[in-house]
Structures are given as structure tokens and as C-alpha cells.
């Protein structure tokens, strides 16, 4: 079975721009979660989607949003980018909430 | 609140055992996880333990859980240079089901 895939793997943007990251879960998995990893804050939960509905949301501003499609693929959008948004964004999938999460390789975003 | 704490750094010699420790706060957490992150990579699931277990062994990995003290440890036997990475402990929030991660322990293995 193929693992979680994320695209793009690397991205450079400038302040004020917006960005969309994509995540394809493991086949059969209907839950997708997003995490932000930075050296200062560590791994922080952004949100989780299950069957196209947002189940949980972390403490991030409204500039961070996401969605999930009927094929369980998910996208995350960050608008009006700030320098502090530079991070590794990790996506994780699981069959359903409560089960073990499997992570993708991440998208490294650099905001200049 | 929910919190997971780990020591930040551990250095061992190749062939020795490594023990990485973690404390957590959510006593209702059902599963506790260990993930490994190599430079530039995502998180790789190493192992997990269900909260009603005290110990789980998987090849070179041994997980010990002390529920009374909310203490979790990961022992790596015969540590190899390829084990050099950051190791994250995580608990599952009983309220939200999301993963709460520790800061990560950097394991350095010297030849």
C-alpha cells in the first residue's frame, strides 16, 4: 500500500502571498490531520478532517484553513503569509478517528 | 491541560542501549506512541502501547509504561548509527483524539 503523499515537498513564498498544500492519504483512510512543525514550537496540531467534515481544530488563526474531498484527499491553505509561517507542514492519515496515524514526508514552506 | 515532556538530548555509543523517557498528563489517554524523525523527513511510526499494558517488545525496541507515574520510556537495544534521529513521544487526547507531542529527544549515536 502506498503511504501518505504530500505535494509539493518544498515551497518558497513571499510575505502576503497565499499557499495551498495537498495531502493524499493511505488508500482506505478517511481521516486526515495536519500539523505544523517549527524549531521553536515543535509539533502543533492544525486540524483534522473526517469524511469531508472538520472534526477538530487547533489554536491557529483563521488564515489557516483546510478542506477534504470526497476521495479523502485534503488541502490546506494559508492566506496572507507571514515570516513565522515558515515550517514543515505534516499530514497524517488514519482509517478513522481514534486509530493510529501515519505521517507523510511533509511540505517544507519558506516564507521570505 | 494536556502536556508531554521529554528530555532534549541523549548521546550513546554504538552497541549500547538507549533509553528515552517521556512524561504525559492525560491519564485517560488510550494509546501512547513513539515516532522517529530523520533529518529532512516526516514522522515514522516506531511503536505504540495501549494504556492497559505495562510493556511491549518489538525486536530491538522495548516500551515501558508506568501509568501511575504517567511515565513512558523507549529502550533501543544495540543502538546503531542509523538510529540517530529525533524521537517523539505522543499521547492521544481523550477529549479530542488529536496527538499531543513532546518536544522530541535528539539521539546521537557515536561510533
pLDDT in tens, chain A (112 residues): 689 999 999 999 999 999 999 999 999 999 999 999 998 889 999 999 999 999 989 999 999 999 999 999 999 999 999 999 999 999 999 998 888 899 999 999 999 9
Reading phi first (left if > 0) and then psi (alpha if -120 to 50, else beta), residue B93 is in: beta
Q: What is residue A14's three-state secondary structure? A: coil
Distance from the Cα of B83 to chain A's closest Cα (Å) equals: 18
Query: What's the distance, CA B41 to chain centroid?
Result: 17
Q: How far is CA A14 from CA A9, A19, A78, A108, A112, in A?
A: 17, 10, 12, 14, 5
Rounded Cα distance between A78 and B47, Å, is: 32
A45 sits in which H/E element = strand A42-50
The answer to whether B97 contacts chain A (CB < 8 Å) is yes
pLDDT value at B2 more than 80: no
- Could you give the strand order of the β-sheet that contains A19-24, starting from the edge strand earlier in sequence? A5-7, A19-24, A74-78, A64-68
pLDDT value at B80 more than 90: yes
Task: Give residue-wise pLDDT tens across range B22-77.
Answer: 999 887 878 899 999 998 889 999 999 998 899 999 999 999 999 999 999 999 99
Residues of A with CB under 8 A from a CB of B: 4, 6, 33, 35, 42-43, 45, 48, 55-56, 58, 90, 92, 97-98, 100-106
Residue bearing the bigger pLDDT, B98 or A36? A36
What is the full DSSP assignment across A59-85? S--TTEEEEE-TTS-EEEEE-S--GGG
As a whole number, mean pLDDT of residues B72-97 equals 93
Q: What is residue B83's three-state secondary structure? A: helix
Residue B1's pLDDT band (cuts 50, 70, 90): low
Q: Give the mutation candidate from A3, A7, A43 for the B interface (greatest B CB count, under 10 A).
A: A43
pLDDT of residue B40: 84
Q: Which grid cell is B48?
A: 505504540
pLDDT of residue A98: 80
Nearest to B97 among A4, A58, A98 (CB): A98
As a whole number, mean pLDDT of residues B84-97 equals 90
Pick the closest to residue A22 from A66, A86, A55, A87 (CA basis): A66
Q: Any idea which residue has 492544525 for its cell?
A: A46
Pick the closest to residue A31 from A6, A7, A48 (CA basis): A48
State which residue of chain A sits closest to B97, comparing Cα positions.
Answer: A98
Amino acid at each position: 500500500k502506498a503511504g501518505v503523499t504530500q505535494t509539493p515537498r518544498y515551497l518558497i513564498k513571499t510575505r502576503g502571498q497565499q499557499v495551498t498544500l495537498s495531502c493524499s492519504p493511505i488508500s482506505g483512510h478517511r481521516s486526515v490531520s495536519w500539523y505544523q512543525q517549527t524549531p521553536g514550537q515543535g509539533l502543533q496540531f492544525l486540524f483534522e478532517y473526517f469524511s469531508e467534515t472538520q472534526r477538530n481544530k487547533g489554536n491557529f488563526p483563521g488564515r489557516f484553513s483546510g478542506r477534504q474531498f470526497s476521495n479523502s484527499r485534503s488541502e490546506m491553505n494559508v492566506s496572507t503569509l507571514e515570516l513565522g509561517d515558515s515550517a514543515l507542514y505534516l499530514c497524517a492519515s488514519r482509517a478513522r478517528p481514534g486509530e493510529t496515524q501515519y505521517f507523510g514526508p511533509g511540505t517544507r514552506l519558506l516564507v521570505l | 491541560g494536556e502536556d508531554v515532556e521529554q528530555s532534549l538530548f541523549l548521546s550513546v555509543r554504538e552497541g549500547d542501549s538507549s533509553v528515552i523517557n517521556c512524561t504525559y498528563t492525560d491519564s485517560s489517554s488510550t494509546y501512547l506512541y513513539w515516532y522517529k524523525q530523520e533529518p529532512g523527513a516526516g514522522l515514522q511510526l516506531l511503536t505504540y502501547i495501549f494504556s492497559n499494558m505495562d510493556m511491549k517488545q518489538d525486536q530491538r525496541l522495548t516500551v515501558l509504561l508506568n501509568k501511575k507515574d504517567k511515565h513512558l520510556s523507549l529502550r533501543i537495544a544495540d543502538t546503531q548509527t542509523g538510529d540517530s534521529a529525533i524521537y517523539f513521544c505522543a499521547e492521544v487526547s481523550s477529549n479530542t483524539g488529536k496527538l499531543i507531542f513532546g518536544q522530541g529527544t535528539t539521539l546521537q549515536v557515536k561510533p
